[in-house]
Amino acid sequence: MNLIVVGLSHKTAPIELREKLAFAEKHLQDALEKLLGLPAIKEGLILSTCNRVEIYAKVDDSSTGKQTICRFIANYHQLDPDQFTAYLYSYVNQAAVRHTFRVAGSLDSMIVGEPQILGQLKEAYQLARNCGTTGVLLNNLFPRAFGVAKKMRTETGISQNAVSVSFAAVELAKKIFDNLKDKVVMIIGAGEMSELVAQHLISNGVSNIFVSNRTYERAVELAEKFAGRAIKYDRLLEEMSRADIIISSTGAPHIVIYHKDVQAAILARKQRSMFFIDIAVPRDIDPEVNKIDNVYLYDIDDLQSVVKANIRGRQREARQAEEITDREVIQFCNCLKRLDVAPTIVALRESLESVRRQELNKALSKLAGLSDKERQVIESMTQGIINKILHKPISSLKHHSAANDIQNYIDTARQLFDLKEQD
């Protein structure tokens, strides 16, 4: 097989080093071409994200292959290998297959179950294919890895439940309101976290957004981003009763929305539910608000508790996903072993067919006056002899194709029949 993966990730290297070794998207094709220009590399793919830089390759020899890839990384980025080799990991053959499947399934990600890595791996594979740097091995490995990742997501809950504060807020909103499409959202403060929550709400169908901020120009800017409407800060409490969901993150050193303010708003709404997401530290919303009927308030600690519980849930599901990986790795490696046997079987057939054709032509040249039917009988007879000679060695190769010592069978067959070495 001679598959190797060499790389580093958020688990082994600091971001400062990952940045130095990253391959810019616009330069990836050039990097792939340089990689495949190295004699030891037969196939190659480069995966470069904010959390990992990895090179997947088919090599002649795993030890030489690792050294070649390390030199390639050093030369390409003009770095001394001593600056990064201590942070590198490498996997060979079955371990490399397992790592590939775990990466595709997000089991090796910073957040288990996140979907981004699968898309990034698909893009890396498509680019490598377009550049002609993949072959039989990688063209079998990556589609299988994508299938395994899909199986993990459909057969386990690894990708379910919110594992970010902004997403957790939206998931809670869904539990309070069956449908978010007709809900009005008010954003108080124009910070990054408020923006993330708003983006998640919009992706779940919300279209009516108000933005209020002490700096009105910033409120206008954010409102335009979400096709919403800016509200002057001094009209905040007056407009609040129109909102179903209020996201607050002002950075103020004191309470912004008090119990009496929400009490007035819920009365104006005729007791229709209101959901407050307070992601400010210090808090913007009076905790006493939670005591009002039909009002639901979650602060940053509440949301983080939800996230932690969901992460633990994903980790439990990850154990089941690891079991899927174990089974799929064994099946795939057995398939690869059968692929390793195939060139030998083809070469064996071609070699004996060449001998048969030469000897048949010699014999026919000495047998003048044969009819077409007689020639066909002789042709069929020689083909039958070759098939009978090949039957047992080919059956034996196929039968042992999944064995750990299959290479011994391949080498023996090639020596016995004087076959050319495999590429």
Q: Per residue in 20-34, pLDDT tens?
A: 999 988 999 999 999
Q: Is 50 a catalytic residue?
A: yes
Number of domains making up the chain: 3
State whether 176 and 293 are in the same domain: yes
Asked whether 344 and 397 are in contact (CB, 8 A), the reply is yes
Residue 323 domain flag: no
Q: Hey, which residues does 247 pair with through a beta bridge?
A: 187, 277
Backbone angles phi, psi at 400, to 5 degrees: -95, 10
Over range 42-71, report the average pLDDT: 94
Directed axis angle between helix 192-203 and helix 165-176, to 10°?
A: 50
Residue 10 domain flag: yes
State whether 92 and 125 are in the same domain: yes
Using the predicted structure, report yes or no on whether residue 383 has a pLDDT greater than 70. Answer: yes
Q: What is the pLDDT of residue 405?
A: 66
State whether 28 and 132 are in the same domain: yes
State whether 125 and 222 are in the same domain: no
Measured between alpha carbons, how far is 68 from 59 in angstroms, rounded to an integer?
A: 10
State whether 338 and 289 are in the same domain: no
Over range 410-420, report the average pLDDT: 81
Largest CA distance in the chain: 115
Using the predicted structure, report yes or no on whether residue 419 has a pLDDT greater than 60. Answer: yes
Give strand ranges (E) for 260-393.
274-278, 295-299
In tens, the pLDDT along 323-340 reads 999 999 998 887 777 666
Asked whether 277 and 249 are in contact (CB, 8 A), the reply is no
Of 259, 281, 301, the one marking the end of a domain is 301
- Percent of the chain whose predicted confidence (pLDDT) is above 90: 57
| Tokens linked to 354 | 């060449």
Give strand ranges (E) for 237-355.
245-248, 274-278, 295-299
Directed axis angle between helix 28-36 and helix 62-77, to 10°?
A: 140
Measured between alpha carbons, how far is 133 from 57 in angstroms, rounded to an integer?
A: 9
State whether 258 and 343 are in the same domain: no
| Tokens linked to 287 | 């905790």
Q: Give the DSSP letter string of 46-74.
A: EEE-SSEEEEEEEES-HHHHHHHHHHHHH
For 114-123, the CB contacts below 8 A with 24+ separation are: 114/159, 114/163, 115/159, 116/49, 117/49, 117/51, 118/146, 118/149, 120/47, 120/49, 121/47, 121/145, 121/146, 122/146
Q: What is the pLDDT of residue 196?
A: 81
State whether 122 and 173 are in the same domain: no
State whether 147 and 178 are in the same domain: no
Spatial CB neighbours of 225, under 8 Å, sequence gap ≥ 6: 195
Asked whether 400 and 340 are in contact (CB, 8 A), the reply is no
State whether 20 and 154 are in the same domain: yes
Over range 137-158, report the average pLDDT: 93
Residue 322 domain flag: no
Of 104, 130, 160, the one marking the end of a domain is 160
Other Cβ atoms within 10 Å of 134 Cβ, number: 24
In tens, the pLDDT along 348-377 reads 888 899 999 999 999 998 888 889 999 999
State whether 50 and 139 are in the same domain: yes
Match 């190295």 to its residue by tokens: 38
Residue 202 domain flag: yes
State whether 149 and 7 are in the same domain: yes
371: containing domain:
334-416
Q: What is the pLDDT of residue 269?
A: 94
CATH number for the domain that contains residue 25: 3.30.460.30
Out of 50, 70, 131, 333, the active site residue is: 50
Asked whether 113 and 163 are in contact (CB, 8 A), the reply is yes
Q: What is the pLDDT of residue 403?
A: 65
pTM as predicted: 0.64
Of 108, 140, 160, the one marking the end of a domain is 160
Residue 324 domain flag: no
Residue 293 domain flag: yes
Residue 81 domain flag: yes
CATH number for the domain that contains residue 275: 3.40.50.720
State whether 144 and 122 are in the same domain: yes
Over range 145-151, report the average pLDDT: 96
Letter for the amino acid at 403?
A
Backbone angles phi, psi at 270, to 5 degrees: 60, 45
Other Cβ atoms within 10 Å of 299 Cβ, number: 19
Residue 309 domain flag: no
